[in-house]
Copies of this chain bind each other. A is one copy, B any other.
Amino acid sequence: MPKTQKVPEATIKRLSIYMRVLKDLEKKNTEVISSADLAEICGINAAQIRKDLTYFGEFGVRGVGYFVKELHFDIRKVLGLNEKRNLALIGVGNLGRALLSYKNFADHGYDFVAAFDTDKEKIGSDLPCGIPVYSMDKLDSLAKDLGIDIVIITTPAEFAQDAADKAVAAGVRGILNFAPTQLNIPREVHLKRVDLTTEFDNLAYHLHAG
């Protein structure tokens, strides 16, 4: 029976990992897997996996394990990945272009539908991947017309807050920020940050301090 208790953020992150592993297992025609075996593959404690899953239901069979195909489907449903998500990118630099052409996203149901920039040279052209580059003025109307769910910000740090403000004003509800700066946005908009320099700093610390 699905519990109505608060789900830890960390659990959500792990579901995404389980899903990827289950996808692979499905491809290899593995039909059943125990939490212990899944734990081994994911490098996560088996009790943790069982607990994560029971936040959303009882998916396993005692004495047997989990049916791979079924569990994969159930996790997809929990994460809300059955509907496609429309993405837009703000800031068409090297990183932005690389993300636009990253095949993996499409496989997972994420589609880039537009890109935005302030550079007049870029606006109006289509990118190699076929996505058009619009002026920032168009963000508001296009967000509504195209149904943009998530915006990816790959602008320089000093323009990121402005980009975020415009995205929020346009009704976007999820933002993934690659710019190395803290963004202020309303509580109801979901924000995630990928901070590459922080990751390097972290490695550097461990190389130097143990």
Q: A residues near B, CB below 8 A?
A: 12-13, 15-17, 19-21, 41-43, 78-81, 83, 85, 87, 93-95, 97-99, 101-102, 104-105, 108, 110, 149-150, 173-176, 180-182, 184, 190, 192, 194-209
- Copies of the protein in its oligomer: 2
Min Cβ gap A73→B in Å is 15
Closest chain B residue, CB of each to CB of A96: B98
Q: Which 5 A-B pairs have the closest CB atoms?
A: A80-B208, A98-B98, A174-B203, A94-B98, A16-B201
**In the complex with contacts A95-B102, A182-B41, A207-B174, A192-B199 CB distance below 8 A:** yes
Known A-B contacts A102-B94, A206-B174; the reply to A150 vs B192 at CB < 8 A is no
Complex-state Cα separation, A181 to B27, whole angstroms? 15
The contact of A176 among B19, B95, B199, by CB within 8 Å, is B199
Check B197–A104 contact: CB distance below 8 A. Answer: yes
Across-interface contacts of A19 in B (CB, < 8 A): 201
Q: Is the CB of A150 within 8 A of B16?
A: no
Instruction: Select from chain B the residue with minimum beta-carbon distance to A109.
Output: B204
A184 to B43, CA, bound (A): 9
Asked if B200 and A110 make an inter-chain contact with CB atoms under 8 angstroms apart, the answer reads yes
